[in-house]
Amino acid sequence: MATGGINLSKEFFELLKAIGESKSKQEEDRIIAKEVQCLKQKLEPTPPGVNPPLQSKKRAKEFLVRLLYVEMLGHDASFGYIKAVEMAASASLYHKRTGYLVCSACLSPEHEFRFMLVNQMQRDLQSANVLEICGGLLASTALITSDMVPAMSGEVTKLITHDSETVRKKAIITLHRFYELAPDVVTFDELYEKVRKVLCDRDPAVMGSVLNVIEEMAKEDPTKFKDLIPSLVSILKQIGEHRLPNDFDYHRVPAPWMQIRLIRILSLLGQGDAASSSGMYEILFDTMKKADVGINAGYAIVYECIKCITKIYPNAKLLDAAADAISRFIESRSHNLKYLGVTGLAMIVETHPQYAAQHQMSVMDCLEDPDETLQRKTLDLLYRMTNPVNVEFITDKLLDFLRGTTDLFLKQQLTTRVCSVAERYAPSNAWYIKTITQLFEVSGDMVKPEVAQNLMSLIAEGTGESDEADMLLRQTAIDLYVQLLQEKPPAKLPKILLETMAWCLGEYAYLSAALSLEDILAKLCHWNKAALQPSTRKFLTSAIFKLVAQAGTCPKQAAEVVDEYTRSKDVDLQQRCLEFQALLTTAPQYLGEILPVDASAEDVEVDVNLSFLDGFCQQALANGARAYEKPEDDDDDEEDYGAAGAASSAFKMTPYAKPETNINRSAMLARGMGTGGQPAGISLPPGSISGNQAVVSTSVDVVGDGLSLNTRGVANVWGKKPGALPAAPPPAAAPAPAAVAPSTFDSSATANVGGFGGPSSNAFGTASYGGAAYGQAPASVLTKTPEQLEKERMAAALFGGIVPGAAPPPAFAPPAPMAPPRQTVAAPPVAAPPVAAPPVTLAPAPAEEVDLLDLGAFDVAAPAPALANDVFGSSTLEPATATAPPIVETVSENEDVLPAPAPVQQATIDPFAAEGLLGDLSETPLQGFGILSSKYEYNGSVMAPMKIVTAQFGQQWGSCTATSPVSVTSRKVTFLNDFMKQCEEAGLHPVEAIGATNEGICAGIVEGGSKVVLVHGKLSPMGSGAAKIDITVKSTDSTLSGSLALYLQNMMK
């Protein structure tokens, strides 16, 4: 019966062969149907009392396996389920396993047979035979549903202390499964207690399996496991030291999966927790070093370390090590490692953008790779590293990809991303309009309607800078839409775009140079031939009305459309059309007044006093009625129905209101790019303060500040409290390296035009990161192929704004107002290859060069920390704090305040320390790391009250250019007093509280008085114990005002 070595029947063999050879699904179905018939006969129950011979027992098992096969191919084999249940109950393990297997694979969660198996499983769990217990446990993970958990959990819990380690490890996983199914039966606390015991199990395999469970649980509630950190670290250490039996090695890496789990758990526990994180720095560093043995299992551990390092509270040394590893992944030939590299880079780049720079060419390669997974990951990376300089390039790439993809999920994601990137970083309004229009075209109704609203209100209201600019903007939009109108039939355009077009054309069609008003009107009327959405019809008719009014005549086509819609099922549309018809026939002279040109953004004139009611009111008052109290806000300009571009208060205009000025820079800073983003040796046009430096520098002359040590003390960026460490100084730390570097750099770097640029760029290792290499490109242009050049140009477009040295070449420079100052290559000429591939293991030569210089600088400073302290500390607000030893290593040498347990090696990394921290912390208000002290800190300096009076406040108010308005609805702050108190808590001086109008003003200074912030708040009670607070923060620095506004908003929420 058995065929040769493989122990199975001829029938089964024939079946498999037939299926393998079947040409079509139909044929396969026929074969299976036959098989099902055959199995049905064979699976007839055995008559009672007969003990079947061995051979038939084997066959019975085979039938079940065949059943499983039939089922796997997608055919119904439910007739045999009962046989499987029966077999699961068999005393023979041989049958039991098969029975359970078929049941777990085939029975749907609601299947009633599952209940029949509970009893059997219970019995198996109580068995003396380890294998039966295991079978029972295994089956229960697959077969138990939430309502069966109570029947099983007791038995499973007992098994956690079973003698056999196989049983123990399976039991804990089963128990976790039960917890997932029925958390009210197997509670978190119960499982928690068990898990902690099992972690100390004498068998490493059991410990290894419980790590899975711990990770799941730590994800839910990390605090409960924080105390385990030392134990976990010690386990990890022991594994790393090969203390486990050799069995656990995989390709000579000790227990890689356990290491991975442990690191993952650590990353969950260390997230946003400086104290916990500091306990893992060392082990992470060691583990990463040990795991780096050039095989996959090792890389898996390294990668897990990278992920962990980017998640936990940042440490500069580790970040550098992680960046190093990432670069090796990304440069690797293996696609898998590349994938991990890009993923890792995306993780690190958001907070530490400077690390991306060295990989520009590799990233370009990945973007062009035919492998879609890699492409997607790279797009993700691009999105995360967008800044004002590279936004155009990145948006183009995202749109390209969007056009090419059919994957809905990806499409949705990319659409959102393009929107967000365009809103945050748009270099010009014209670009914004163009991009969003393209997005409408590609993604259609996946775009949120608000985006269209925003776009229309932008076009209607303009930027408010000058009328010409606004007109030009409208013209751009109209040209774009007229072109679309001519080229594409409406059926091919998505609704959202049609509506936007209709509205814009209705308002501004007269601006078109290409077509006359009448032509546009005619084209719009044509739309009606396509099947339109009801809402689009309304937009269309509105546009037609307006155009008719503007043209002064009503062409036949237009009249027809209007006439048709007077019979529309949509009452609103019908009424509008009827009204319009009536107007047209009876009083055409009023058309222009009723449908005015370009008035969408204007307030409709309303007799707000309602003077015609005066008589009525008087009478009512005379009759004892209460006088009416005017509500606070009177938005009365929402008359225009769909096209409501008018309600200006409803739109958040800030993201693109004035992109040319501060917004982008602040956004850039907010993303922690400020410091890294300031290119080396940028020649700063006088008066154009750039990014971070602007933040730090006082009103002192920029160059002077950069070069002289003394003035820099003024910035006093490290005057932060030891208690407030986690909120260590973001961009503020930047001047740190700058502070030290210039002293040694002065002579050599006098050529560095903009004082700050030189030193800070060195501090951030410009040259080492290939930025300089790019900077070199123009010189070696002639020797390169056009493709290379193109790629480099793309890379430059991409990495512009991230790295010093990678400012875009003119071809890609965004429109003038946005363009960062063009850089003069100040970094020392380095012979780095244009492809900026950093050598794999040790620090690259060019990097070394610069780093060494830097190091030199630090070396000079390091031996005399006290002195340095004085220099910096003298002018800090809280001098005591400057000398206090920071808890975290991250804050190391830069600041010269570290007790420096660090070996020299640590000193080398420092330039990044500042940056690392920076990046992270400038995000603090955004990511909500939690406010640690109630006082607002800016760049690490606590805000201090500025004691001025109202008159002075008024004077300052005008001179502060950066305004950040926010509003918040609060239940906490409902009275003016609360508001003032909150402001005081934040560190502001309450200047005056004006009870009559419910307004308050406060003032504060940051950075030792170099910057002033003024706050104005107005409370409007909303009833039911809540109030709306409108806060306006003014400052000379938009980053500062923006961040304080956010801070206050959070505080009062």
Give percent helix, percent strand, percent coil of the chain, each to the nearest 5: 65, 5, 30
Report CA dihedral (799, 805, 810, 812) to the nearest 10 degrees.
0
Burial class (CB in 10 A: 0-12, 13-18, 19+), 885: exposed
| Ranges within 342-361 binding another protein (CB under 8 A) | 343
Binding span for another protein by CB under 8 A among 86-94, 792-800, 830-838, 944-952: 86-94
Neighbours of 156 (CB within 10 A): 27
CB of 42 to another protein, least distance (A): 13
| Ranges within 791-810 binding another protein (CB under 8 A) | none
Q: Give just the sign of the alpha carbon dihedral 405, 408, 410, 413.
A: positive
Alpha carbons 980 and 81: distance in angstroms, whole number: 73
CB of 424 to another protein, least distance (A): 24
Examine residue 255 and tell whether it contacts another protein (CB under 8 A). yes
Given 212, 906, 977, 1020, the residue binding another protein (CB under 8 A): 212
CB of 414 to another protein, least distance (A): 12
Which one, 141 or 933, has the nearer CB to another protein? Answer: 141
Alpha carbons 121 and 138: distance in angstroms, whole number: 10
Binding span for another protein by CB under 8 A among 75-83, 512-520, 818-826, 867-875: 75-83
Structure tokens that stand for 392 in this block:
């155009």
| Ranges within 423-442 binding another protein (CB under 8 A) | none
| Ranges within 259-278 binding another protein (CB under 8 A) | 260, 264
CB of 180 to another protein, least distance (A): 9
Contacts 24+ apart (CB under 8 A), 199-204: 199/228, 199/231, 201/165, 201/168, 203/165, 203/168, 203/169, 204/244, 204/245, 204/248, 204/255, 204/258
Given 80, 84, 86, 545, the residue binding another protein (CB under 8 A): 86
275 beta partners: none
Q: What is the DSSP string of 552-575?
A: SS--HHHHHHHHHHTT-S-HHHHH
Neighbours of 122 (CB within 10 A): 16
Q: Map residues 116-135 to x or -, x wherever contact with another protein holds by CB under 8 A.
A: x-xxx-x------x-x--x-
Given 34, 40, 74, 619, the residue binding another protein (CB under 8 A): 74
Examine residue 6 and tell whether it contacts another protein (CB under 8 A). yes
Examine residue 209 and tell whether it contacts another protein (CB under 8 A). yes
Examine residue 36 and tell whether it contacts another protein (CB under 8 A). no
Alpha helices in 595-708 (DSSP H): 614-622, 654-657, 662-670, 674-677, 691-696, 702-707
CB of 374 to another protein, least distance (A): 6
| Ranges within 935-994 binding another protein (CB under 8 A) | none
Examine residue 884 and tell whether it contacts another protein (CB under 8 A). no
Given 80, 208, 742, 765, the residue binding another protein (CB under 8 A): 208
Examine residue 410 and tell whether it contacts another protein (CB under 8 A). yes
CB of 115 to another protein, least distance (A): 6
Contact present, 496 and 445 (Cβ < 8 Å): yes
Buried b / exposed e over 223-253, threshold 16 CB at 10 Å, is ebbeebbeebbebbeebbeeebeeebeeeeb
Helix (H) or strand (E) holding 594: helix 591-594
Contact present, 620 and 626 (Cβ < 8 Å): no
- Tell me the pairing of strands 1026-1035 and 999-1006: unpaired
| Ranges within 289-318 binding another protein (CB under 8 A) | 296-297, 299-300, 303-304
The one-character DSSP state at 407 is: -
Examine residue 157 and tell whether it contacts another protein (CB under 8 A). no
Burial class (CB in 10 A: 0-12, 13-18, 19+), 379: buried
Examine residue 84 and tell whether it contacts another protein (CB under 8 A). no
Alpha carbons 757 and 1024: distance in angstroms, whole number: 54
Q: Which of 715, 716, 727, 731 is nearest to 678 (CA)?
A: 731
What's the N-to-C CA distance of the chain in angstroms?
78
Given 31, 114, 157, 174, the residue binding another protein (CB under 8 A): 174
Helix (H) or strand (E) holding 712: helix 709-715
**Cβ neighbours for 85, distance < 8 A, ≥ 6 positions apart:** 99, 103, 113, 116, 117
Examine residue 338 and tell whether it contacts another protein (CB under 8 A). yes
Q: Map residues 216-235 to x or -, x wherever contact with another protein holds by CB under 8 A.
A: x--x----------------
CB of 794 to another protein, least distance (A): 22
Q: Which of 945, 890, 871 is nearest to 882 (CA)?
A: 871
Given 133, 191, 213, 399, the residue binding another protein (CB under 8 A): 213
Binding span for another protein by CB under 8 A among 247-255, 518-526, 797-805, 931-939: 247-255
CA angle, corner 395, sides to 391 and 397, nearest 5? 125
| Ranges within 593-652 binding another protein (CB under 8 A) | none
Given 59, 170, 359, 665, the residue binding another protein (CB under 8 A): 170
Examine residue 40 and tell whether it contacts another protein (CB under 8 A). no
CB of 172 to another protein, least distance (A): 10
C-alpha to C-alpha distances, 125 to 57, 102, 114, 132, 734, nearest whole angstrom: 24, 19, 16, 7, 63
Q: What is the DSSP string of 45-94?
A: PPPTT----HHHHHHHHHHHHHHHHHHHTT---GGGHHHHHHHHT-SSHH
| Ranges within 135-154 binding another protein (CB under 8 A) | 137-138, 141-142, 147-148, 150-151
Binding span for another protein by CB under 8 A among 29-37, 173-181, 775-783, 914-922: 173-181
Examine residue 61 and tell whether it contacts another protein (CB under 8 A). yes
Binding span for another protein by CB under 8 A among 91-99, 186-194, 575-583, 901-909: 91-99
Burial class (CB in 10 A: 0-12, 13-18, 19+), 656: buried
254 beta partners: 249
Alpha carbons 922 and 919: distance in angstroms, whole number: 6
Q: Map residues 757-786 to x or -, x wherever contact with another protein holds by CB under 8 A.
A: ------------------------------
Binding span for another protein by CB under 8 A among 215-223, 516-524, 555-563, 577-585: 215-223
CB of 965 to another protein, least distance (A): 36
Q: Map residues 357-396 to x or -, x wherever contact with another protein holds by CB under 8 A.
A: -------------xx-xx-xx-------------------
Binding span for another protein by CB under 8 A among 51-59, 234-242, 455-463, 876-884: 51-59
Examine residue 14 and tell whether it contacts another protein (CB under 8 A). no
Which one, 193 or 407, has the nearer CB to another protein? Answer: 407
Examine residue 708 and tell whether it contacts another protein (CB under 8 A). no
C-alpha to C-alpha distances, 184 to 146, 178, 179, 424, nearest whole angstrom: 10, 10, 8, 45
Examine residue 111 and tell whether it contacts another protein (CB under 8 A). no
Given 18, 36, 42, 69, the residue binding another protein (CB under 8 A): 69
What is the size of the binding site for another protein (CB under 8 A)? 106
- Tell me the pairing of strands 989-994 and 937-938: unpaired
Neighbours of 788 (CB within 10 A): 16
Binding span for another protein by CB under 8 A among 206-214, 231-239, 272-280, 956-964: 206-214
Which one, 102 or 318, has the nearer CB to another protein? Answer: 102
CB of 300 to another protein, least distance (A): 3
Binding span for another protein by CB under 8 A among 16-24, 753-761, 881-889, 956-964: 16-24
Which one, 334 or 952, has the nearer CB to another protein? Answer: 334
Given 27, 221, 227, 407, the residue binding another protein (CB under 8 A): 407
